[in-house]
Amino acid sequence: MPVARERVTATLFAVTTLVAVVVNKFVVQPLLWRIEPVAVGFSIGVLVLIAVCAGPPVWYVWVTRALRRRPATFGLAPDGAAFVVAESVVPRGLTGILLMFGAGSMLLTERVPDTDRVRLAQLGWATTASLAVAVALAVIALVVIWLPGPSLVLTPDGISVRYPLRRRELRWDELLPGGPPPVSRWYLTLMYRSPDGRPKRLNVAVFSFDVDPVFLATVVRHYNERPEDRGGVGTPGELERLESSYAAWRAATGARPA
């Protein structure tokens, strides 16, 4: 699925979440007040609330399940001088959905006297503040989904990790021998030596990237230990060699992607 389509999908789920929360507050819950006995209406209301809370994120996770089977490959930079790891929009989509749920939940409501209708609470500045926070959360959700995400680039010189507010570059010869430790689905820890000689670590949030974490860790270790192969980084032939070597290793060991 192209990144633009991933973002559209995440936006649709996020907006649906906001609409579901608002409809539940202003339409569904008032209808349940008429149900007798009260305990039945209350129980149904709780079930509807659970569905509104869990439904969109669970459905989104199911719809994007194919995207979470991250490939053991890289993209090629247009100039042929780097391997580029594509970003994954799925984590940011989930964040956007949760922020939209928070936006809808911030709306203060009250029962209209002598009716079964609901309206925005008449609390003056408190109501205005709640609306402002709700709008802010909704805008932040869209920003999270649509702004360019992090990037990970491998060049003959080293590895570059870029986030919206920071950037970190490490040369291959800065990495400590032995390569990265066992990788999880969430983080890859790169150990390197600082200018003062002390060992330090850089945690790469691999869940933000569309790549098999084990494949990435294996490649980083390979280039850390084999300087003679670094010159091929960014070329189709080198990428094909990495992919075939990793596939052979997985077939021999029975290892599965992280």
Q: How many CB atoms lie within 10 A of CB 255?
A: 12
Query: For the whole model, what pTM was predicted?
Result: 0.80
Q: How many CB atoms lie within 10 A of CB 93?
A: 27
pLDDT per residue of the chain (258 residues) written in tens, 0 to 9: 567 888 999 999 999 999 999 999 998 888 888 888 888 888 888 898 899 989 999 999 999 887 777 888 999 998 888 999 988 888 899 999 999 999 999 998 888 887 888 888 888 888 899 999 999 999 999 999 998 888 899 999 999 988 777 788 899 988 888 766 667 777 888 888 887 778 888 888 888 888 988 899 889 989 988 999 999 999 999 999 999 988 887 787 766 655
